[in-house]
Amino acid sequence: MNNPIKLMLLMCLFWVPLTYGESFTDLPADIKITLSPLEAKWDGLSAEKQQKLIQGASRWNALGPEQQDKAKARFQRFSQLPNAQRTKAIERLQKYQTLPKGKREDLQKSYQKL
């Protein structure tokens, strides 16, 4: 009779981290700064979404200032495109991402020659 109770207690202990994401206050300082606009909404986000945002913030923080400026400019241009062009660009990116590595490298080389 003791075993089922212990099992349930253990399940409860392990269930909590699986159902809730990281607390915003527990994030590293640089990640908190990058994600600060989302602080008020953080607890309402799924753990999966939180992890994706943390990964994105980590990648962003790893970029140098020039690379960040370039990325901001590209995002600005992208956000000003009409919806149809944005949709087409997203589809092309998804298609590119499914290509084998060799074909992607060939495309990159041909693009760099332009």
| pLDDT computed for residue 6 by the predictor | 57
Residue with tokens 């994105």: 56
Residue 23 lies in a domain: yes
Residue 91 lies in a domain: no
Residue 26 lies in a domain: yes
Residue 33 lies in a domain: yes
Residue 79 lies in a domain: no
Using alpha carbons, list the distances in angstroms from residue 27 to 3, 22, 42, 91. 36, 7, 11, 33
Q: Are 42 and 50 in contact (CB under 8 A)?
A: yes
Residue 72 lies in a domain: no
Render each residue's pLDDT in the chain as its tens digit; 114 residues.
455 665 555 555 554 444 346 789 999 999 999 999 999 999 999 999 999 999 999 999 999 999 999 999 999 999 999 999 999 999 999 999 999 999 999 888 888 887
| pLDDT computed for residue 78 by the predictor | 92
Buried b (16+ CB within 10 A) or exposed e, 14-52: eeeeeeebeebeebeeebbebbeebeeebeeeeeeebee
Judge if pTM exceeds 0.85.
no
Residue 15 lies in a domain: yes
How many domains are contained in the chain? 1
Residue 110 lies in a domain: no
Domain range spanning residue 58?
2-62
